[in-house]
């Protein structure tokens, strides 16, 4: 196969094969991305629906308490008159009340009045004349109106099912409950011949059959978007491949002739013929390469013996370079390697590193220092950090911001009776201290040459680059999990920590508290005093959370003005007490105004939840705390609300 054909094949392999692989990857990613966006919308819709459902339950409680105190109803129940009880229930099921039901202690429905599609019922045990008469539940909303409210709020299709029977739907037809999933996982369902991506969440909060609320999104919408994205990707990849093939043909033709010339010259060199030079035409890069090729052939014969002599040194250098790469982010290892290499390469007897900047690296020693060698090294190190007239232009340039000012000083030597030392300062290349430390070597006998000084300067420069790369790497790792404004954990670190603590809570059977914090009227602060003032408020409130947290707690910025606290080994009562302390601290916090005209005060609302009573996974626990926070906001703000316990009813109905 000719060189031209091989070049074309090479271009094809490095362009077409990766493009095909990239196409498959992009096709998979676009499908996963679109499905993920749809699933995220469904999950968010489910959370909104659960929150709205709980709000409806809370809205039914005043009517429940009023009906539970009704004298005629209590008399009819106490006298054991079912007919009178049902008549009274029918009279009470009027106005805003959609349905009233009476359940036995065993979970059987004794009486019903009102709509059969009523949902979001609030209930309580009914005690008449000192005896438990069962369980009374009251609903002020029905399934169709609730479904359309959720539909308007989330933009998703809603299906409500109770006890295997459809209650309400925003779909065109009336779907059957057959074939719908029995759990709350995201899945694909088929309704009236149409496929939907959705999730069915149980939302029952009173006796009776389970009410399951489905949040659905048409699969066809996602499929159409995936198809459109894939078509665009395919067109772009095809265009790129076409351009690459055209370029490959052109470049192959241009290079073939030049390569043939250099191939003939290389064959001559392989036979040991250094006399015939490569013909040079023009002034392009190939002509420059030809000139360099001819210069190389002239020097090659003289260098053969030197290359052989240096071969062993090169092998050792390669080993050391490999070691340096392996320890590139290890500050101690990089500086220690530089000291060892300086001792070996400069034929010194001893060497050491002296750290100055705290935490930059650790000191090390190579060889055994005697009194004379140590005195010489100390003298050289003192001279390194002495400001002399020859560094004046450098210091002036640094003060004036001149980037062309010299940044690397030369190695400094010191001498004693029969001993010689060499030291170089490790100067910072980025913002930070002037010096990170110094590297020094010493020996008996002859002084160090200028070549050895340059080698030490080079090694010191490489050590500084590696040390500061390690510092930057650590800083980037910290920034990846920290919110820049507040200094708290960011939302990604918050979710990872919450998953980890939930797993630990399940494994060891310990409680886990979660507090969601939202600053009251934060938009008014931004609108009145500006976003700079709002940032200052967030930063000071974050400081309160930090000061109130234990070492094992995690305070995070959840988003915007919403903060959160993860409290391991803390139940709901303990989390509520902590939230109250934090609320009082924020209320009494004087926030200085950025315009210097006094200070302002801020308050915050708190939602408290705990695992396992409020939820066993991340989504349920956050939803419970968010619902409690929403209740605190609606209740007047500047208060702490505790999430309702999931399954707090004293009786569990048969299903």
Domain count, the chain: 4
Are 603 and 505 in a shared domain? yes
**Torsion sign across C-alpha atoms 74, 76, 78, 83:** negative
Question: Any residues with CB less than 8 A from the CB of 624 and at least 6 apart, and which?
Answer: 514, 607, 609, 614, 615, 643, 644, 646
pLDDT of residue 501: 94
Q: pLDDT tens, 579-628? A: 999 999 999 998 888 888 888 989 999 999 999 999 889 999 999 999 99
Q: Are residues 134 and 33 part of one domain?
A: yes
Q: How far apart are CA 415 and CA 230, in angstroms?
A: 73
The domain boundary, picked from 221, 253, 279, lies at: 221
Which pTM does this prediction carry? 0.38
Final residue of a structural domain among 450, 480, 510: 480
Write out pLDDT tens, residues 294-349. Answer: 777 777 767 766 656 655 654 465 456 445 544 555 666 778 888 888 898 888 99
- Separation between Cα atoms, residue 456 and residue 463, nearest integer Å: 10
> Three-class SS of residue 187?
strand
| Closest by Cα among 258, 260, 259, 296 to 277 | 296
- Are residues 512 and 614 located together in one domain of the fold? yes
Residues 438 and 569 in one domain: no
Domain CATH code at residue 334: 3.30.450.40
The last residue of one of the domains, among 480, 510, 539, is 480
Cα–Cα–Cα angle for 331, 405, 391, nearest 5°?
A: 85
Residue 647 placed within a domain? no
In whole angstroms, give the CA distance from residue 427 to residue 411.
12
Q: How far apart are alpha carbons 50 and 204 in whole angstroms?
A: 10
Residue 291 has a pLDDT of: 75
Within a domain: residue 237?
A: no
Are 159 and 134 within one domain? Answer: no
In a domain, 653, yes or no: no
Residue range of the domain that includes 544: 491-642
Residue 257: inside a domain? no
Q: Residue 136: CB partners within 8 Å, gap ≥ 6?
A: 64, 67, 68, 100, 101, 102, 103, 123, 124, 125, 126
Q: Is 270 helix (H, G, I), strand (E, B) or coil?
A: helix
Residues 508 and 431 in one domain: no
From the candidates 501, 561, 641, 644, which is the catalytic residue?
A: 561
Same domain, 476 and 513: no
Give Cα separations from 113 to 66, 78, 87, 89, 109 (angstroms).
16, 19, 8, 6, 11
DSSP assignments along 10-49, one per residue: HHHHHHHHHHHHHHHHHHHHHHHHHHHHHHHHHHHHHHHH
Residues of the chain with pLDDT under 50: 314-315, 318, 321-322, 325-326, 405, 647-655
CA distances from 455 to 311, 411, 423 (A): 19, 10, 12
Residue 99 lies in a domain: yes
- Residues 161, 114 share a domain: no
* Helical (H) or strand (E) element with 213: strand 211-218
Q: In this structure, are 64 and 122 located in the same domain?
A: yes
Catalytic site residue 561?
yes
CA atoms within 13 A on the CB side of 324: 20
What CATH number is attached to the domain comprising 629? Answer: 3.30.70.270
Residue 414 and residue 342 in one domain: yes
Same domain, yes or no: 368 and 499: no
CB neighbours of residue 508 within 10 Å: 9
Does any domain span residue 579? yes
> Is residue 65 domain-resident?
yes
Q: In terms of domains, do 504 and 626 share one?
A: yes
Residue 321 lies in a domain: no
CB 363, CB 491: distance < 8 Å: no
């Amino acid at each position: 196969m000719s060189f031209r054909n091989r070049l074309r094949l090479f271009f094809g392999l490095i362009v077409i094969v990766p493009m095909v692989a990239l196409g498959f990857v992009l096709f998979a990613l676009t499908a996963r991305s679109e499905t993920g966006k749809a699933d995220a919308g469904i999950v968010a819709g489910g959370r909104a629906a659960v929150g709205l459902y709980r709000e409806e339950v809370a809205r039914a409680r005043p009517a429940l308490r009023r009906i539970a105190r009704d004298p005629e109803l209590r008399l009819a129940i106490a006298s054991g008159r079912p007919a009178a009880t049902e008549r009274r229930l029918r009279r009470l099921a009027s106005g805003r009340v959609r349905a009233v039901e009476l359940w036995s202690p065993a979970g059987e429905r004794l009486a019903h009045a009102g709509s059969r599609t009523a949902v979001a019922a609030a209930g309580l045990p009914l005690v008449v004349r000192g005896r438990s008469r069962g369980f009374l539940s009251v609903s002020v909303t029905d399934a169709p109106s609730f479904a359309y409210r959720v539909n308007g709020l989330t933009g998703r299709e809603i299906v409500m099912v109770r006890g295997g029977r459809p209650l309400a739907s925003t779909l065109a037809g009336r779907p059957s409950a057959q074939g719908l999933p029995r759990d709350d996982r995201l899945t694909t369902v088929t309704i009236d011949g149409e496929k939907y991506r959705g999730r069915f969440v149980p939302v029952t909060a009173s006796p009776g059959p389970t009410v399951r609320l489905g949040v659905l999104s048409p699969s066809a919408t996602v499929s159409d978007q995936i198809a459109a994205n894939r078509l665009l990707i395919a067109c772009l990849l095809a265009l790129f491949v076409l351009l690459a093939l055209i370029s490959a043909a052109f470049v192959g033709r241009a290079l073939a002739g030049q390569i043939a010339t250099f191939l003939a010259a290389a064959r001559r060199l392989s036979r040991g013929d250094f006399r015939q030079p490569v013909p040079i035409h023009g002034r392009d890069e190939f002509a420059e390469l030809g000139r360099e090729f001819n210069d190389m052939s002239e020097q090659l014969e003289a260098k053969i013996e030197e290359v052989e002599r240096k071969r062993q040194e090169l092998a050792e250098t390669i080993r050391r370079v490999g070691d340096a790469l392996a320890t590139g982010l290890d500050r101690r290892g990089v500086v220690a390697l530089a000291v060892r290499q300086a001792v070996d390469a400069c034929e010194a007897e001893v060497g050491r590193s002296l750290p100055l900047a705290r935490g930059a690296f650790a000191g090390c020693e190579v060889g055994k220092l005697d009194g004379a060698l140590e005195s010489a090294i100390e003298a050289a190190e003192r001279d390194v950090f002495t400001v002399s007239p020859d560094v004046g232009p450098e210091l002036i340039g640094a003060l004036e911001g001149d980037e062309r000012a010299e940044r690397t000083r030369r190695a400094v030597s010191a001498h004693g009776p029969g001993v010689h030392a060499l030291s170089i300062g490790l100067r910072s290349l980025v913002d930070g201290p002037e010096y990170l430390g110094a590297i020094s070597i010493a020996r008996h006998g002859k002084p160090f040459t200028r070549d050895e000084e340059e080698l030490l300067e080079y090694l010191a420069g490489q050590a500084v680059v590696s040390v500061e790369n390690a510092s930057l790497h650590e800083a980037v790792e910290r920034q990846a999990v920290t919110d820049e404004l507040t200094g708290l954990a960011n939302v990604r670190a918050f979710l990872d920590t919450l998953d980890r603590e939930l797993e630990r809570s399940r494994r060891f059977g310990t409680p886990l508290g979660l507090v969601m914090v939202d600053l009251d009227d934060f938009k008014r602060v931004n609108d009145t005093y500006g976003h700079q003032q709002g940032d200052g408020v967030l930063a000071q409130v974050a400081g309160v959370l930090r000061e109130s947290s234990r070492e094992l707690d995690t305070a995070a910025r959840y988003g915007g003005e919403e903060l959160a606290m993860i409290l391991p080994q803390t139940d709901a009562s303990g989390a509520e007490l902590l939230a109250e302390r934090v609320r009082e601290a924020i209320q009494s916090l004087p926030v200085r105004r950025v315009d210097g005209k006094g200070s302002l005060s801020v308050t915050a609302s708190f939602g408290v939840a705990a695992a396992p009573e409020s939820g066993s996974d991340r989504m349920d626990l956050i939803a419970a705390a968010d619902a409690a926070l929403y209740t605190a906001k609606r209740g007047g703000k500047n208060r702490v609300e505790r999430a309702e316990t999931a399954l707090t009813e004293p009786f569990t109905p048969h299903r």
